[in-house]
Amino acid sequence: MRGRSAHSRSGSISSRPAEVLRLEASFQAARRSRIVCRCALLWTSERPTTESGALVSKLETVVKDIVDEMRGRPHRGEVASYIPELARADPKAFGLVVVDADGHVVAAGDADTPFSIQSISKVFTLTLALGKIGDRLWTRVGREPSGSRFNSIVQLEYERGIPRNPFINAGAIAVTDAIVAGHQPREALGEILRFMRFVAADDTIVIDDAVAASEQRTGFRNVALANYMKSFGVIENPVEFTLGVYFHHCAIAMSCRQLAMAGRFLAHFGHNPSTVLPVATPERARRINALMLTCGHYDGSGEFAYRVGLPGKSGVGGGILAIAPGKASIAVWSPGLDASGNSQLGQLALERLSKRMEWSIFGA
Ligand code: GLN
């Protein structure tokens, strides 16, 4: 992963598609307007209207109740250990943050403790890759639920090296390869990290190098998946470049508060309230939400839709980003996982939240 600075530019201006230029203009505008927007956010937080004030106080009660309930739960699932560094997480940790449509932030529990976002990063790399190459991405990765584990190998053989969807490991590696696209790994990684900081409006977000190195040492399955795809021409860059970037973006560390902020553009039809220009078109945000709903929890996606009824994306670090379209961006974290690799209490907490707030996209 050595090379030029993570902040160096990743290509000449003239060779970049219009959408990437638009995104970069939006980055710059966001930087300029951040101070003003932060003030605006504070202002709205302090002066809610009567109606939104009632909603916020209900939300505060619900979030507090959920955190109290989850703290006392004895069965919390198993902390992931196949990436050795992840096994260090405290199984008792629990955080929940909701950012509503008016920018009110309701937080409880370990809301500001950074954790490894792992596969939640795949939502953001998908957004970035679609911004760079648009629908051409879909020649390299499908959009169907997999019904198998996140690191399954068998399916790739049946489907001649084209991964089922962008959220299983193989699909996310193919998406990362589209972002690398001939650049140095460090440049591609810098672009991903800048994008995360931009959507979260938070320049303090960093990569946990110990987690990245731990997965780089032990990620043999991902090496197998990437090499298998390479044999079909689905991976275009050197496998070690693409995997290096993949392992590092999975190792981005964020708190529930940062993650909920980062998801706002998906809750608001592609528009991030703290930036002048949209992050994605409304159509693209809607489609990313659709993929999160159908594929975001691997072979547990049906169960998540049934119980929670919201687009969501889990990671083996125990985090889940969930979106209540038009209403809220939600991040929850509890490191213990169920058999499908999804946060056990995170799912339960979201089930409680969507029920009490009546946020399921399928109705109350
Ligand atoms: N980096 C992890 C892996 O590739 C991500 C898996 C996950 O969060 N589901 O195995």
The DSSP annotation for 174-205 comes to HHHHHHHTTS-HHHHHHHHHHHHHHHHT-TT-
298 is catalytic: yes
Q: Mention every residue, 6+ apart, whose C-beta is less than 8 A from residue 249.
A: 121, 124, 125, 176, 189, 192, 193, 207
pTM: 0.88
Residue with tokens 């956010």: 41
Does residue 8 lie within any of the structural domains?
Answer: no
Give residue 199's pLDDT: 96
Tell me which of 150, 220, 229 to substitute to probe ligand 1's pocket, judged by most ligand atoms within 8 Å of the beta carbon: 150
d(CA 328, ligand 1 centre) in Å:
26
Model pLDDT, residue 262: 98
For residue 317, which atom of ligand 1 is closest to its CA? 8
Active site residue 122: yes
Note whether residue 243 is domain-resident: yes
Q: Which domain holds residue 191?
A: 13-357
251 in a domain, yes or no?
yes
Residue 296 lies in a domain: yes
Q: Which of 106, 132, 279, 298 is catalytic?
A: 298
* Amino acid found at 100: D
270 phi-psi bin (left φ>0, alpha ψ -120 to 50, beta other): left
Mutate to test the pocket of ligand 1, among 78, 118, 122 (most ligand atoms within 8 A of CB): 118
Atom of ligand 1 nearest to the CA of 250: 1
- Ligand 1 centre from 234 Cα, in Å? 20
pLDDT of 44: 40
Q: Looking at residue 48, what is its pLDDT?
A: 54
Q: Does residue 3 fall inside a structural domain?
A: no
Bridge-partner residues for 320, per DSSP? 314, 332
Which of ligand 1's atoms lies nearest the C-alpha of 150? 9
Specify burial of residue 19 (Cβ count, 10 A radius: 0-12, 13-18, 19+): middle
Gyration radius of the chain's alpha carbons: 19
Tell me the CA distances in angstroms from 44 to 48, 132, 199, 265, 314, one per residue in order. Answer: 6, 34, 19, 18, 30
- Please tell me whether residue 105 adopts helix, strand or coil conformation: strand
Tell me the pLDDT tens digit for each residue of 54-107. Answer: 889 999 999 999 999 999 999 999 999 999 999 999 999 999 999 999 999 999
Cβ proximity of 93 and 123 under 8 Å = no
| Residue 267 forms part of a structural domain | yes
Q: Would 5 be classed as within a structural domain?
A: no
CA distance 10 to 189: 10
Residue 106 pairs in a beta bridge with 98
What pLDDT score does 31 carry?
42
Element spanning 231, H or E: helix 220-231
pLDDT by residue for the chain (364 residues), tens only, comes to 333 333 332 333 333 444 444 444 444 444 444 433 333 333 344 445 677 788 899 999 999 999 999 999 999 999 999 999 999 999 999 999 999 999 999 999 999 999 999 999 999 999 999 999 999 999 999 999 998 888 889 989 988 999 999 999 999 999 999 999 989 999 999 999 999 999 999 999 999 999 999 999 999 999 999 999 999 999 999 999 999 999 999 999 999 999 999 999 999 999 988 777 899 999 999 999 999 999 999 999 999 999 999 999 999 999 999 999 999 999 999 999 999 999 999 999 999 999 999 999 999 7
Catalytic site residue 119? Answer: yes
Residue 315 lies in a domain: yes
List residues bridging with 324 in a β-sheet: 328
223: CATH: 3.40.710.10
Assess contact for 93 and 228: CB atoms under 8 A: no
List, chain by chain if needed, residues with CB within 6 Å of any ligand 1 atom: 118-119, 150-151, 169, 215, 222, 250, 315-316, 341
pLDDT value of residue 152 = 87
Estimate to the nearest angstrom the gap between the alpha carbon of 286 and the chain centroid: 15
DSSP 343: B
CA dihedral 334, 200, 151, 85 (to 10 degrees): -60
Output the residue whose Cα is nearest ligand 1's atom 3: 169
Compute the distance from residue 270 Cα to the ligand 1 centre, in Å.
Answer: 26
| Dihedral sign from CA coordinates of 306, 312, 316, 319 | negative
State the total domains in the chain.
Answer: 1
> Among the atoms of ligand 1, which is closest to the Cα of residue 247?
1
- Which of 243, 316, 347 to probe ligand 1 with, by most ligand atoms within 8 A of CB? 316
- Secondary structure, 3-state, 264-317: HHHHCCCCCCCCCCCCCCHHHHHHHHHHHHHHCCHHHHHHHHHHCCCCEEECCC
Ligand 1, closest atom to CA 119?
A: 8
| Cross-strand pairs, 253 | 116, 206
pLDDT at position 8, please?
Answer: 30
Task: Please tell me the predicted confidence (pLDDT) of residue 305.
Answer: 98
pLDDT in tens, 157-193: 988 999 999 999 999 999 999 999 989 999 999 999 9
Separation of CA 117 and ligand 1 centre (Å): 9
